[in-house]
Amino acid sequence: MSTTNPQSDAPSDEGAPRGLRRWSRRPADGSPAAAARARRRSKHRRRVANVAGLMAALVLTGTLYSALSPAQATEESGATESSAEAAGRELYERSCITCHGENLEGVPTRGPSLIGVGEAAVYFQVHTGRMPLVRQEAQAPDKPAVFSDEEIDQLMAYVQANGGGPTLPSGDLREGDLTEGGELFRLNCASCHNFVGEGGALSSGKRAPSLEDANDLEIYTAMLSGPENMPVFGDNQLTPEEKRAIVNYVQTIKAQADPGGAGIGRIGPVAEGVVIWVVGVAALLFGIFWMGSKA
């Protein structure tokens, strides 16, 4: 499963009908982008730097796993475990094994298999604090992360080594066209996450979370891994460039001030209706009470 499709699958640009806007689709590249660009969000920049270093060590292994069946990979990996993987195994056996099983195979009714989810999924789930789970409910809520960044790296290394799957991206995650990102966001993401990522309700108590606190890598890995009910957006569906465009759009809009005054949650008519009654009508009622009172 996972990113097993060879990159040559990416279709070329032929046969574009009429006025559709096109943009080139490049295969995913693992090469780290210019380090000079990596300075925007200091905390997560560091994360990405860590990950990039880690990646270099893992590139070969990763390629190998993507060719082999994950189950086989699990068996083989035991012998040549790096120190990060060993630390990750320790963390895994302490915090994750109850629900995800001894060999990442998952436990029925408790937790899904982690084979093939890759470090991207681990990063998203653990860094947003969704995992480890406190209790089973409709949906894992995000909360402060339990593990440190270093521990997350170790967990990622362990799961990647033993289960395989999508890896973390590198370089500037906002290196994409803003307008294109907006268009893709409205087509693929807004239906659940609202126009500007405020989040929205899903069926029966589930919900698409707000992207307010999400960092670049979390948004990126969420698209890549499709956590819980979110559909997966593999690299052949949304290319890394398109994902970066979406990340760029989300983060730009989030940071952008509201030119028209208070944003009132940027959710539109519901908030506006509350304001006109609670502020507008109330102020005017107060005004006419005062006008009607005796001097």
Annotated binding residue at 93? no
257 contacts: CB under 8 Å, gap ≥ 6: none
Closest residue by Cα to residue 181 from 212, 210, 209, 223: 223
Q: Using H for helix, E for strand and C for coil, what is the string for 200-235?
A: EECHHHCEECCCCCCCHHHHHHHHHHCCCCCCCCCC
- Mark residues 2-41: x for contact with other proteins by CB under 8 A, - for none: x--x---x-x-x-xxxxxxxxx-x----------------
Rounded Cα gap, residues 118 and 100, in angstroms: 14
Give the C-alpha distances (Å, rounded to integers) separating 132 from 110, 139, 232, 243, 276: 12, 13, 21, 27, 43
Positive or negative, the CA dihedral 216, 220, 226, 230 is positive
Cβ proximity to other proteins, 47 vs 193, nearer residue: 193
User: In the window 143-182, what residues touch other proteins (CB under 8 A)?
Assistant: 177-180, 182
Among 194, 215, 221, 251, binds other proteins (CB under 8 A): 194
Question: Interface with other proteins includes 229 (CB under 8 A)?
Answer: yes
13 is in an annotated binding site: no
The response to whether 189 counts as a known ligand-binding position is yes
Asked if 60 touches other proteins (CB under 8 A), the answer is no
Alpha-carbon gap, residue 88 to 82, rounded angstroms: 10
Rounded-to-integer distance, Cα 33 and Cα 287, Å: 61
List the one residue from 127, 130, 174, 193 that touches other proteins (CB under 8 A).
193
Q: Which is nearer to other proteins, 85 or 198 (CB)?
A: 198
Select from 50-58, 71-79, 93-101, 223-231 the region that touches other proteins (CB under 8 A). 223-231
Q: Is 44 annotated as a binding residue?
A: no
- The encoded tokens of residue 201 equal 């309700």
- 252 labeled part of a ligand binding site: no
Binder of other proteins out of 218, 234, 241, 246 (CB under 8 A):
234
Which residues in 236-295 contact other proteins (CB under 8 A)? 236-237, 249, 252-253, 255-264, 266-270, 272-273, 275-277, 279-281, 283-285, 287-295
Beta carbon nearer to other proteins, 88 or 227: 227
Q: How far is CA 176 from the centre of its chain?
A: 16
Is 133 one of the annotated binding-site residues? no
Applying CB under 8 A, among 186, 211, 221, 246 the residue interacting with other proteins is 186
- Residue at 147: amino acid letter: F
Choose which of 106, 208, 219, 243 interacts with other proteins (CB under 8 A). Answer: 208
Distance CA 226, CA 233 (A): 7
Q: How far is the CB of 109 from other proteins (least distance, A)?
A: 13
Helix 70-77 / helix 149-163 crossing angle, nearest 10 deg: 110
Regarding 108 and contact with other proteins (CB under 8 A), the answer is no
Which positions make up the binding site?
96, 99-100, 189, 192-193
- The annotated binding site for heme c is made up of 96, 99-100, 189, 192-193
